[in-house]
Structure 1
Amino acid sequence: MRATGVGSLPGENYPEAVRVVLGELADLPYLPELPARGAIANMTGRALAVLDGLDADLQPAGWRLTGTGGSPGVDHRRARSLLAQDLDTLEELAQDSALVAGGGAFKVQVTGPWTLAATVERPRGDKLLADHGARRELAQALAEGVRTHIRDVRRRLPGAQDVIVQVDEPALPAVLNAQVPTASGFGKHRSIDLPEASQGLEWVLGAIADEGATPWVHSCAPGTPLGLLRTAGAQGLSVDLAQLSAADHDELASSLEAGDTVALGVVPALAPDSAPTDKTVTETVERWLDMLGLDASHDIVLTPACGLAGADWQWARTVSRILGESARHLA
């Protein structure tokens, strides 16, 4: 039993965020995301920094692709530079950890192709979701970019035996159910059929597996099709326990029995009126396992319910501590 974070943390102090992750979640640390630093640091900006062969710039309405000419906008260049700087910081602060000495595991996050398609605009306006060719090109560029990203992480953390790439797809249910608004705001984009949705994910998840890394998919949105994620190649499913349906519980049980990982969101992302303790979290996970007829020998990772960008630093530290202690109890 291990504990980790979903990805985002509050504030703008990146070295401090890395120290907290390495200190509190040493069994499975991750590359923090601090969206408070602006659009170049949010989940969309981070993913665009990884893209291979597509250029983007930042408009008042958000990120927009500009083509394939090798001329990224100034904000796109800043996003790539910031990611490199953050990896430099991680490399420096991880020198005394197993990530360098050997035997460690490490997780990075990247926004998935369907959430990107629902977020980023095409050059002539409206979301990439409206254009079949653009959707395909985006997924393939993301797949190639993730390959390079994994190699860069391995170069910096030579002791990381297991590199996990968490593909974030919070918008996937909206994409599949025609709930993404058009640019005018008066309509919705057409739903994406399941074979195309699966193929886009397969390109990205397959690229991760080809590099010898472990592909996970995370979504804390209700209605996420967990079966689709598994058939597309996800070897780990990261979910919010409070959002699960009965069918989701069955899918997660099947995933665990097949030897895959379930990252279970068990602590609120925002501080509640009555904060849980490591004891109550441990009991919650034990009840869930009892309900499924399973035990703690399966590969379960404890996480917050979702990202912690909206929390304060006190709660973010508390969450990391609670998760770490709960994982030790269950182990």
Structure 2
Amino acid sequence: MSLEASTTPDTTSSPDTITATGPIVVAGTDLLGALTAIRGELGDPHLPSLPLLPDRGPGADAAGRAAALLEELPVEIGPHGWRVSARPGEDLRRSRSLLASDVNVLADLAGAEQIPATRIGVTVLGPVTLASVLDLPGGERVLSDHGARRDLADSLAAGLAAHLAALRTALPGATVTLRIDEPALDAVLAGTVATASGYRTLRALDRAEVRQTLRQAVEAARGSGTADVVLAVEPAPLPLSLAREAEADALAVPASALRTAPDALGEYLDDGGALTVGLETTAVDRRGTRGLREVSDLAGQVLDPWQRLGLPVTRLPQLTVTTRMPAGALTGTRAPAGAPDAGRLPALLRRLVATADALETTARDA
């Protein structure tokens, strides 16, 4: 994967404040409680979001949420997960009902607040990863068939544009940030995605096709009035040039990726690129008790590699901090172990905001 910085001119304004945003996946079934915590703790300039609560059952997981967006491409739950079907059925209706209900709950909560919502973040499982987990009627992955991949990309782009436009209508005056999650991106480019049988792997996709597929989703978001698009990956290595080629505004990566980031990261930031950094927010003590890490530890996960790379702290305002999702969080059907529930969200969000404040102080004092 190339690491050269793109020469695409920057058309975005550089951010001037380090912000925090919440987890993508929340455990449990209490959406109202989760949204109340998120909107209560993440006031301006931070980014409240609409999380996934997969513990609510089929259709509430990341693949089910993406399935609800597909236009003219019916899907259903098969023996091994979601698959393309001949006609819409109960599984798809449930997924779409959950999505509509979630947006309504968010709109009702925002409408009851004294201060109108100014920002909202939403996530979608990206077209590349969706093709690697969605099956064809015969059982093989959509990823294996060029025509099926194209149809899926077209369907998701159309449905995503409609969803984002509806979200802006539900939250009038609020700007929308879309996070496109592509945890399988590196595996797809490397040709290591297993076939349905598990006995071999699917051929790697051409980088140009991946770039065009991602750009199609980004353009759909832009066409619906989305303010910012974030491409989220589990990188090895950091796909800086791909993010720029797909015209994403930012990359979302785990903090651990900064330890092996290339020199081109400085060029990426200089060109106006931004980062959402997933921090390891919890630790297990000697007694086996899991708790939140201190702010100094969380800030150090950014500052230590930042300094080793020789990056100026004046670039820190191009960061958003969040909590890192465990591996497989977006390809499973339940919330992963360690995912916070609504009751634990306020403490986590306060810690993330405090970390953003600490990094902001460092940048300001430089």
- Provide the TM-score with structure 2 as the length reference: 0.82
The residue aligned with 2:348 is 319
Residue 225 of structure 2: SS of its match in structure 1?
Answer: coil
Residue identity matched to 2:349: S
The alpha carbon displacement at 1:95 in A equals: 1.9
| CA gap 1:145/1:224 in 2 versus in 1, 3 angstroms | farther
Paired residues of 2:234 and 2:253 also in contact (CA < 8 A): yes
Identity within the alignment, %: 35
Paired residues of 1:171 and 1:221 also in contact (CA < 8 A): no
The residue aligned with 2:363 is none
Which residue of 169, 172, 187 maps to 1:174?
187
| CA gap 1:39/1:219 in 2 versus in 1, 3 angstroms | farther
| Aligned mates of 2:141, 2:259 — CA distance in 1 | 30
Which residue of 242, 254, 258 maps to 2:267?
254
The alpha carbon displacement at 1:285 in A equals: 2.8
| CA gap 1:284/1:174 in 2 versus in 1, 3 angstroms | closer
User: Does residue 263 of structure 1 match 2:276?
Assistant: yes
The residue aligned with 2:69 is 50
Residue identity matched to 2:313: D
| Aligned mates of 1:37, 1:222 — CA distance in 2 | 32
Paired residues of 1:267 and 1:303 also in contact (CA < 8 A): no
Paired residues of 2:144 and 2:202 also in contact (CA < 8 A): yes
User: Does residue 101 of structure 1 match 2:101?
Assistant: no
Paired residues of 1:271 and 1:315 also in contact (CA < 8 A): no
| Aligned mates of 1:90, 1:111 — CA distance in 2 | 20
The residue aligned with 2:284 is 272
Residue identity matched to 1:191: A
The alpha carbon displacement at 1:271 in A equals: 4.6
The residue aligned with 1:15 is 32
Paired residues of 2:230 and 2:248 also in contact (CA < 8 A): yes
RMSD value, Cα: 2.1
Paired residues of 2:37 and 2:345 also in contact (CA < 8 A): no
| Aligned mates of 2:241, 2:59 — CA distance in 1 | 32
User: Does residue 79 of structure 1 match 2:92?
Assistant: no
Paired residues of 1:176 and 1:191 also in contact (CA < 8 A): yes
Greater mean alpha carbon deviation, residues 248-257 or residues 47-56: 248-257
Residue 140 of structure 2: SS of its match in structure 1?
Answer: coil
The alpha carbon displacement at 1:11 in A equals: 0.8
- Structure with the larger RCO, 1 or 2 (CA within 8 Å, 6+ apart): 2
Greater mean alpha carbon deviation, residues 230-239 or residues 256-265: 256-265
Residue identity matched to 1:74: E
The alpha carbon displacement at 1:221 in A equals: 4.7
The residue aligned with 1:33 is 52
Aligned residues: 323
Residue identity matched to 1:279: S
| Aligned mates of 2:167, 2:283 — CA distance in 1 | 32
Which residue of 193, 200, 211 maps to 2:206?
193
Which residue of 265, 282, 304 maps to 1:287?
304
- Deviation string, structure 1 residues 75-121 (Cα, Å, up to 9, x no partner): 111000000001111111112558x736x221100000110000000
- Provide the TM-score with structure 1 as the length reference: 0.90
Paired residues of 2:22 and 2:323 also in contact (CA < 8 A): yes
Paired residues of 2:243 and 2:250 also in contact (CA < 8 A): no
- Deviation string, structure 1 residues 242-291 (Cα, Å, up to 9, x no partner): 13463x353443332222321011234x6533642123223433334333
| CA gap 1:254/1:306 in 2 versus in 1, 3 angstroms | farther
Paired residues of 2:81 and 2:134 also in contact (CA < 8 A): yes
| CA gap 1:130/1:283 in 2 versus in 1, 3 angstroms | closer
| CA gap 1:135/1:89 in 2 versus in 1, 3 angstroms | same
The residue aligned with 1:210 is 223
The residue aligned with 1:159 is 173
The alpha carbon displacement at 1:316 in A equals: 4.2
